[in-house]
Structure formats: structure tokens, C-alpha cells
């Protein structure tokens, strides 16, 4: 049975403003969720679902963990901190508004009702905006599941290809899944900080493989 998502995903704010720590009221939630990440069984089924407003905090936590843990050996500290700095309520509200954007689609991967990854596309410019998995759940095929679901949704929207500015540490993942390198370039973050990236593109066939 094919997946069908409401088109509800945020725009490029994901690459630049989804960060850790939203306010003191979320501190306990953060501590509890990190404990849950460490003790979940490895073989529990992962579900892919449309994101909801209540998922924003978990999405920010995953983004922060992924950037600060998996990308640190590829980028200098100033890039890491600019890519995923502490957040504020304004950024939270921007993400919430983006979730309602009819031109975009955001999905989350859940295990035991805990969000372990997320991804997004923007249909109007054929952009794969984001794909992040919590480091505790890396190398289990969750990223591939999210990407497959996003590609399915892109095809259902009539998109013929997806393009993106991939981080250097993610290049091999996307090449493995059919993306081709266009060029090595730089991506400017919201702060003005530039980071090395790989412009990549994948042609979508007419059906899921």
C-alpha cells in the first residue's frame, strides 16, 4: 500500500534553524527522550508518518544531535555551531508555520512512538530540504526508509527529479541511493557562515523501486 502524505513540510529553515533546546519547559522532555533513545530495542518496526506540530521539539533534538555528532569530523567548530546553534522561540514558531506550508512535505520516522529521524522536500523547487537520523539509530536503514518515502511523495506530486545541497559527510549516502554529483560548492547559512556542500541531483523514475 502506497504512502500518502499531506503536503506539510518546512522549507530551508530545516537546514539552518532547527536546533537544540527550545526553552526550560522542554528540559525534562529532552532528558527523558535521550534516555529512551539509548534503550529502545534495535528490531522494533519503524513507521513513517507525516509530521505534526507536536513533533517540533523532537525534530530539533535530532537535528542538533546529528549535526554535532556525525558532522563534527567533517566541518570546523564554527560551521557546526552556525549550522545548529541553540534555538529560540522565534525559530520554533517559524518551523511551526512552515509545517503548514502547502508547497512542502515533512515526514518523521518513529520507533515505539519515539521520533528517530525526519526528512522534508519542497515541491515548488524540487528540493530535498533535509534528512536526519538520530545518531543512536544510524546504520539501521532508517535514513534509506525516509528517503524512499520522500521520493515516493515527490513522484506522487509529479516531480521528475530532486536536487539538494548535501553536506560533505552525507555525500556517500546519497551517491549510494542514486544521486549524482553536480558540483562541489558552498552553502550559506542563515548567519552568513558558509559551509562546504555537494550539489546533487537524482532523476525520479515513474514508479518506486
Q: What is the pLDDT of residue 207?
A: 56
For residue 157, give the C-alpha cell.
Answer: 506530486
Residue 113 CB contacts under 8 Å (≥ 6 apart), including other chains: none
pLDDT value of residue 74 = 98
What CATH code would you report for 13-158? 3.40.630.30
**pLDDT of res. 17:** 37
The domain spans of the chain are 13-158
Q: Strands across the sheet with 127-133, in order? A: 46-50, 104-111, 114-122, 127-133, 161-167, 194-203, 180-188
For the chain, 209 residues long, give each residue's pLDDT as a single digit of tens. 334 333 333 334 344 333 333 332 333 333 334 444 444 444 568 999 999 999 998 888 999 999 999 999 999 999 999 998 877 686 677 778 778 898 989 999 999 999 999 999 999 999 999 999 999 998 899 999 999 999 999 999 999 999 999 999 999 999 999 999 999 999 999 889 999 999 999 999 865 54
Name the pTM for this structure.
Answer: 0.79
Amino acid at each position: 500500500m502506497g504512502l500518502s502524505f499531506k503536503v506539510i513540510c518546512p522549507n530551508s529553515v530545516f537546514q539552518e534553524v532547527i536546533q537544540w533546546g527550545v526553552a526550560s519547559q522542554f528540559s525534562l522532555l529532552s532528558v527523558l527522550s535521550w534516555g529512551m533513545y539509548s534503550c529502545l530495542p534495535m528490531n522494533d518496526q519503524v513507521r513513517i508518518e507525516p509530521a505534526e506540530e507536536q513533533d517540533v521539539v523532537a525534530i530539533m533534538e535530532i537535528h542538533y544531535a546529528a549535526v554535532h555528532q556525525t558532522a563534527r569530523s567533517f566541518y570546523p567548530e564554527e560551521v557546526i555551531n552556525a549550522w545548529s546553534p541553540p534555538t529560540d522561540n522565534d525559530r520554533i514558531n517559524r518551523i511551526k508555520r512552515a509545517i503548514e506550508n502547502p508547497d512542502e512535505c515533512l515526514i518523521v520516522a518513529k520507533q515505539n512512538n519515539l521520533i528517530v529521524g525526519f526528512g522534508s522536500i519542497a515541491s515548488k523547487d524540487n528540493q530535498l530540504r533535509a534528512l536526519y537520523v538520530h545518531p543512536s539509530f544510524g546504520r539501521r536503514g532508517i535514513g534509506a526508509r525516509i528517503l524512499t518515502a520522500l521520493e515516493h511523495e515527490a513522484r506522487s506530486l509529479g516531480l521528475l527529479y530532486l536536487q539538494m545541497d548535501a553536506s560533505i559527510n552525507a555525500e556517500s549516502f546519497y551517491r549510494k541511493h542514486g544521486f549524482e554529483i553536480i558540483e562541489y560548492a558552498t552553502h550559506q547559512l542563515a548567519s552568513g557562515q558558509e559551509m562546504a556542500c555537494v550539489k546533487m541531483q537524482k532523476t525520479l523514475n515513474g514508479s518506486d523501486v
